[in-house]
Structure 1
């Protein structure tokens, strides 16, 4: 039986300082059936030039490699472009300032081969600017749903699940959490592995936690809960989570 193809997608814009780490983490995967798609939003720096330097290396390893560089309507619109272009059975999204551990794709594929799932995710290293590292553990949440126990950079979702639930809504910065909740509503199998499979560089778009953003982030996340049928009580859970972030 043929093993599943794994597609990794990276969305980038002016990411020349960090994208090498991301690209090389995909290139160095232990899994042998990989596709890598970089969706760039017309970067003004050397992001695309750096990406093009790796074409021969990906070809030599037998990995499919595609670079799309065109105007987009934000990060989730770019993710949707990547998903539409993906030919893999499983899709992971790793941002241009984050990077995979070398066995990320192998672990996700092996779990899918045991029994198909609608979502896979794992533990992650949060790397601070001073180089210190905190491990954020994952958990398969049965009752209370909170992103405190979910790590998007480690997530792999079957292409056919996107075909069923749709693409990212492109409504706000919490659209990744909206996708989680939409897939959770299917009631199908989630798989969580307590092993670090990716590294998250603290300080990107999704971790701007100043006081000015506090109310906006609460409102955006709360909307995701309400549109997916969750209780109004989740406002207090979101507020507590966002308050904790700005106090760290």
Structure 2
């Protein structure tokens, strides 16, 4: 059993140190950590270099590259090609694990006797370190085919899943993780650990990003999951109205 965590960075100088610290402070060792930087123009690479020696001391295998890419999903695909773990997780450059996250995932993987594609948990969504939402959904196809209701941050994917269904679709900018998991449709094998494993930074989503997220979600449902257009449109309208209502009351 081997684990890999991949982080994609681009001009992440304000947050990457905290992400790195959360990896170094894990209660277990012996896993692999990979940073794929998109040729940052700020001090991101310098921060990575300043922390590089700490991984060897902590008995954590560490690799990093810095080169231009076409977005987060190309970066994650690069990380996958560099990785050696049988289980792979993706942690954002402004997200961080709790100290026993890898230990809990490791124990679950070791003790689980059934085939699983993805193991996930609960994640706290934060803004300026203030918790604004707990993402704690449980995967069920009838819900998942409508929207991404589980926390993808920090979840571990079985490498066999990528061997079977392929890498991330790099044409996506926001909903590529949802599209990937939709490929298995109702056959996706999931396992939830009911604990908070990570904190995900909200970062303030712009209206343009929200529009793109809705459009990409609809595209994934139609083209990957083969869900009829009228159902996708209905789900889209309901999700959009819910979002607008939340924005209005806040």
TM-score with structure 1 setting the length: 0.89
Structure 1 gaps of 5+ residues are: none
Aligned to 1:176: 177
Q: Hey, what's the Cα distance between the residues in 2 that align with 1:132 and 1:189?
A: 30
What SS does the aligned partner of 1:102 have?
coil
Q: Hey, what's the Cα distance between the residues in 1 that align with 2:240 and 2:194?
A: 24
CA contact (8 A) 1:138 1:193 kept: no
Once the two structures are TM-superposed, the CA of residue 41 in structure 1 deviates from its matched residue by 0.5
Residue 238, structure 1, aligned to residue 208, structure 2? no
Aligned to 1:60: 57
Structure 2 gaps of 5+ residues are: none
CA gap 1:23/1:178 in 2 versus in 1, 3 angstroms: same
Residue of 21, 26, 30 corresponding to 1:24: 21
Once the two structures are TM-superposed, the CA of residue 148 in structure 1 deviates from its matched residue by 4.8
CA contact (8 A) 2:119 2:157 kept: yes
CA gap 1:24/1:183 in 2 versus in 1, 3 angstroms: farther
Q: Hey, what's the Cα distance between the residues in 2 that align with 1:67 and 1:241?
A: 38
**CA displacement, residues 166-208 of structure 1 (integer Å, 9 cap, x when unaligned):** 00011222111101211445x252101221111111116xx33
CA contact (8 A) 1:25 1:100 kept: yes
Residue 40, structure 1, aligned to residue 37, structure 2? yes
**CA displacement, residues 70-115 of structure 1 (integer Å, 9 cap, x when unaligned):** 1111110001000111001110000101111122222222222222
CA contact (8 A) 1:121 1:138 kept: no
Once the two structures are TM-superposed, the CA of residue 13 in structure 1 deviates from its matched residue by 0.3
CA gap 1:214/1:45 in 2 versus in 1, 3 angstroms: closer
**CA displacement, residues 28-81 of structure 1 (integer Å, 9 cap, x when unaligned):** 122322100000001011111111112221101111001110111111000100
TM-score with structure 2 setting the length: 0.89
Aligned length: 240
CA-based RMSD of the aligned residues comes to 1.9
CA gap 1:44/1:105 in 2 versus in 1, 3 angstroms: same
Once the two structures are TM-superposed, the CA of residue 213 in structure 1 deviates from its matched residue by 4.7
Aligned to 2:219: 223
Once the two structures are TM-superposed, the CA of residue 130 in structure 1 deviates from its matched residue by 7.0
Aligned to 1:139: 138
What SS does the aligned partner of 2:123 have?
strand
Once the two structures are TM-superposed, the CA of residue 231 in structure 1 deviates from its matched residue by 3.1
